[in-house]
Chain A
């Protein structure tokens, strides 16, 4: 079964509104989670590192005020796309490593965002 779960799997929102995507580690605690974005037929691009109890670390070129990340507990990170525009339409995927010495990095099922 899934080790990392995302919700919703698909969301359509109107331009200018905000949408929240959740990422949960199901049977382990994750002090760090990662958010990626994947445009159609492209690779995954690391957006930010979500740190439990502290601010997220954003990759260069990713607007922190537009992509709000909150990691309020050891099993939940949320990504909020604020004032979404059609160009934000993408596949958003989160990941987490199972334990500090775990070797496998698990990915969520992904969330399709369509901004109309």
Chain B
């Protein structure tokens, strides 16, 4: 059974601090996505990681992918209140399904950044 495990599930940070969210998965996928969800809203695409060793950065967020360890990380640098949201990682299982875009999501990490 495919598992996508995120931790922590809840994260309360102070502004200015750094932290990392971890995403472990059990399939052999080499394609992983990170999304942000604000309360009551749909998903906003943050990063698409397509190969082993991929690293992408946007502002205070940086994501990486290690397909051998089946691990992706989302690192937050000098957090600000605007980053408060729920962050999901999702593994692309399309190759297994012969389709294009089947995603299995982690449970999400609810981030709260406090002044």
The reply to whether B42 and A93 form a contact with Cβ atoms under 8 Å apart is: yes
Q: Which residues on the A side are within 8 Å of B14 (C-beta)?
A: none
Count how many chain B residues have C-beta atoms less than 8 Å from C-beta atoms of the other chain: 22
Contacts of A28-66 to chain B: CB distance below 8 A: 31-32, 34, 36, 42-46, 49, 57
Interface string of A1-45 (1 = CB under 8 A from B): 000000000000000000000000000000110101000001111
Q: How far is the CB of A3 from chain B (nearest CB, A)?
A: 10
Q: Report B-chain residues with C-beta under 8 Å of the C-beta of A67.
A: none
Q: Are the CB atoms of B45 and A110 closer together than 8 Å?
A: no
Given contacts A43-B106, A43-B107, A103-B48, contact A110 B42 (CB under 8 A): yes
Q: Do the beta carbons of B42 and A107 come within 8 Å of each other?
A: yes
Partner of B43, one of A45, A46, A93: A93
User: Quick check: A110 and B101 within 8 Å, CB to CB?
Assistant: no
Is A49 in contact with B103, judged by CB distance below 8 angstroms?
no
Contact residues on A (Cβ < 8 Å of other chain), bracket: 20 to 34
B104 close to A (CB within 8 Å) = yes
Q: Which of B42, B48, B107 has the most CB of A within 10 A?
A: B42
Q: Helix, strand, loop or mixed for chain A's interface?
A: strand
A22 to B74, CA, bound (A): 33
- Contact present for B108 and A96 (CB under 8 Å): no
Q: How far, in whole Å, are A103 and B102 apart by their CA atoms in the complex?
A: 12
15 more CB-based (< 8 A) A-B contacts, given A36-B105, A97-B100, A110-B42? A42-B107, A44-B105, A46-B103, A49-B97, A57-B97, A93-B43, A95-B103, A100-B100, A103-B48, A104-B48, A105-B92, A105-B101, A106-B45, A107-B35, A107-B45
B contacts, CB < 8 Å to A: 33, 35, 41-43, 45, 48, 50, 88, 90, 92, 97, 99-108
Interface CB pairs A-B, < 8 A, 28: A31-B100, A32-B101, A36-B105, A43-B88, A43-B106, A43-B107, A44-B88, A44-B105, A45-B105, A46-B102, A46-B103, A49-B97, A49-B99, A95-B101, A95-B103, A97-B100, A100-B100, A103-B48, A103-B50, A104-B48, A105-B45, A105-B92, A105-B103, A106-B45, A107-B42, A109-B41, A109-B42, A110-B42
